Amino acid sequence: MRRLAPEFFARDATVVAPDLLNKRFVVGECAGRIIEVEAYTSDDPASHCFNGRTARNAVMFGPPGHLYVYFTYGMHYCVNLSTGADGDGQGVLLRAVTPLTGVELMRLRRRGRPDRSLTDGPAKLAQAFALDLTANGEPAEVYDDGVPPPPAPLVGPRIGITKAVEWPRRFRVPPPPE
């Protein structure tokens, strides 16, 4: 199992995003396989970086391969990986993973939720992995454990935004047949 080097993340977010599918995201005891992501670039009106560097989004302008965690809607955290060169404001939002290890911990942190709801949304996976503002700016732990990205990832419009909604920058691993 090979840990992804900073060079992996030092590319355009739209290139890194589909390449992250089926990779292994690790935080402490917990690991999950990345199945859905969204790319955010500096020329994207929906990106936090669109209006330039601020204290909040500094991590996305920093070196690639770091965690950018932000707080939104007064109650939720979302997790991004910084991409592009140092000084470039881009990132990839982790939207969903499937739990691999540390599932017990995730169940504890998401008390009362069925297993399928542990990590199937951006704020949910942040909670399941116990990621909050203290994790902001930490180096990201992502591994290639031999599972290649899907040959034909589903590409579609992004979810939950009001600007540039039509930009097809959401990438998803095709769901298993029911």
Partner DNA sequence: GCCTGGATTGTCT
Partner DNA sequence: GACAATCCAGGCA
**Residue of 124, 169, 170, 172 that binds DNA (CB under 7 A):** 124
Q: Tell me the torsion sign for CA atoms 90, 26, 177, 113.
A: negative
Q: Could you say whether residue 55 binds DNA (CB under 7 A)?
A: yes
**Residue of 15, 54, 108, 145 that binds DNA (CB under 7 A):** 54
| CB 151, min distance to DNA, A | 26
Q: Could you say whether residue 109 binds DNA (CB under 7 A)?
A: no
**Which of these, 32, 147, 90, 73, lies nearest to 81 by C-alpha position?**
90
Report whether 30 contacts 106 (CB < 8 A): yes
Q: Could you say whether residue 18 binds DNA (CB under 7 A)?
A: no
Strand partners, 31: 26, 101
Q: Could you say whether residue 136 binds DNA (CB under 7 A)?
A: no
| Interacting residues with DNA between 20 and 49 (CB under 7 A) | 38, 40, 46-49
Q: Could you say whether residue 72 binds DNA (CB under 7 A)?
A: yes
Amino acid at 23: K
Give the residue with the Cβ less far from DNA, 2 or 73: 73
CA dist 47 and 27 (Å) reads 25
